Amino acid sequence: MLFPAIRIAALVVLAGGAAQAQVFTGDTGIRSADPSVIETSNGYVAVESRNGRMLLVRIAESLEGLAEVRPVRIWSDRERLGEVWAPEIIFRQGRYEVYFTAGIGSDHRMYRIESTEAAEGYGDAVEISLPEDKWAIDGIPYSFNGADYFIWSGWQGDEDVQQDIFIARLNSQGEVEGPRVVISSPDQPWENVAGETPAINEGPQPIIDPAGQLHIVYSANGSWGPNYCLADLRLRSGGDPLDPAAWSKSDGCLFGANGETLAEGANLAVEAKGVGHHSFILRNGQDEPPLAPEELRPFLFHGVPAAEEPADFWAARKWYAGLYRWVPDVAYGSGKNMDIGWSLQFFDKGK
């Protein structure tokens, strides 16, 4: 089955002049939001929610093949948790783990299911106990420098006025211990360019740069409109992930369809608008080795086709494939708060 919006792009910009194999970019043909895809020895494994009531998995040999396979249901909301959103899949210690949020309104909390097989054998959902027990979405565990952390988006209180990015330590049993720490709030004009409530920081995705330093790329602005975009948090060299002062923020979004939100040198999205809630295509979804500078790698994000003006923006979202690479010596902040290190460039079509 072929989709007319699908394109194949040839890339020839590897360091040293070497040619890179053809890489798929563009509209995947999957009408959904919040993509989560990992690369495994069995191919590409993707998870998505459907109708706010179930979780589905697709497995294909290529990114462009994901739209051609029939998704398999791996979990249904028999417990009537309500509003199942934004699953994230990882593979570690021989098990697939899917993290998702479920609940009604202010009752959204994080849950996990797991199995030794990607498309079957998942048990009941287990709630993840987070500090202060507040509204939480988009959570994912990550390992850095021998320690484990849980990263998510949530509310500081009990009202929907703002979403922040939180981090907390995980113990050896995989349980959250200690306090939650806010490492990013939507406090910059470009993070809420329309002045809407709630202001949004969400969809955090950890990744390691070529110097071995931790980044958390997240989505800013409302996902219900065209200003949604990707920004970056970079941990300062030698910094403690649990120290808010150790994080520096990009001076604007690094990828988006509204130029008013973008940092200097960032790329404008041209294929779609409302671009964000991305997924780096990491090997097994964890412990990605640092990539060589200039190496282009795929990522997925959701958006609405640039030419469309849908009555229901959320319902019109689709998965897109793009590319990213690391860029050295990029300053975040200014004055005594300036931090210089690796940043990212994103592209929504072949370069």
Indicate the domain borders of the chain. Answer: 6-346
The pLDDT assigned to 287 comes to: 53
pLDDT of residue 5: 28
DSSP class of residue 186 equals: S
Q: Of 240, 249, 253, 265, which is closest to residue 338 (Cα–Cα)?
A: 249
For residues 3 and 322, give the distance between their C-alpha atoms in angstroms, rounded to a whole number: 17
Q: How far is residue 120's CA from residue 294's CA, in Å, rounded to a whole number?
A: 38
pLDDT on residue 336: 83
Give the alpha-carbon dihedral of 104, 105, 107, 109, to 10 degrees.
90
Give the phi and the psi of residue 191 in degrees, each rounded to 5: -85, -10
**Can you give the pLDDT at residue 180?**
98
CATH 2.115.10.20 given to domain 6-346 = yes
The answer to whether the beta carbons of residues 57 and 119 sit under 8 Å apart is yes
Cis peptide before 290 (omega within 30 of 0): no
Rounded to 5 degrees, what angle do the CA atoms 150, 156, 161 make? Answer: 125
DSSP string across 79-112: T-----EEEEEEEETTEEEEEEEE-SGGG-EEEE
Distance CA 234, CA 208 (A): 10
Beta strands in 128-213 (DSSP E): 136-144, 147-154, 164-170, 176-184, 201-208
| pLDDT tens over the chain, length 351 residues | 222 222 223 333 333 334 445 678 999 999 999 999 999 888 999 999 999 999 999 999 999 999 999 999 999 999 999 999 999 999 988 999 999 999 999 999 999 999 999 999 999 999 999 999 999 999 999 999 999 999 999 999 999 999 999 999 999 999 999 999 999 999 999 999 999 999 999 999 999 999 999 999 999 999 999 999 999 999 999 999 999 999 999 999 999 999 999 999 999 999 999 999 999 997 756 555 566 777 888 999 999 999 999 999 999 999 999 999 999 999 999 888 899 999 999 998 754
Cβ(209)–Cβ(293) below 8 Å: no
- Per the DSSP assignment, residues forming a β-bridge with 306 are none
Q: CB-based contacts of 75: which residues, under 8 Å, 6+ apart?
A: 54, 55, 98, 113, 122, 125
Rounded CA-CA distance 58/45 in Å is 6
Distance CA 175, CA 223 (A): 30
* Rounded Cα distance, 236 and 200, in Å: 23
What is the per-residue pLDDT for 17? 38
Query: What would the two tokens of residue 343 be?
Result: 């940043």
Backbone CA torsion sign across 155, 333, 148, 294: positive
Amino acid at 85: W
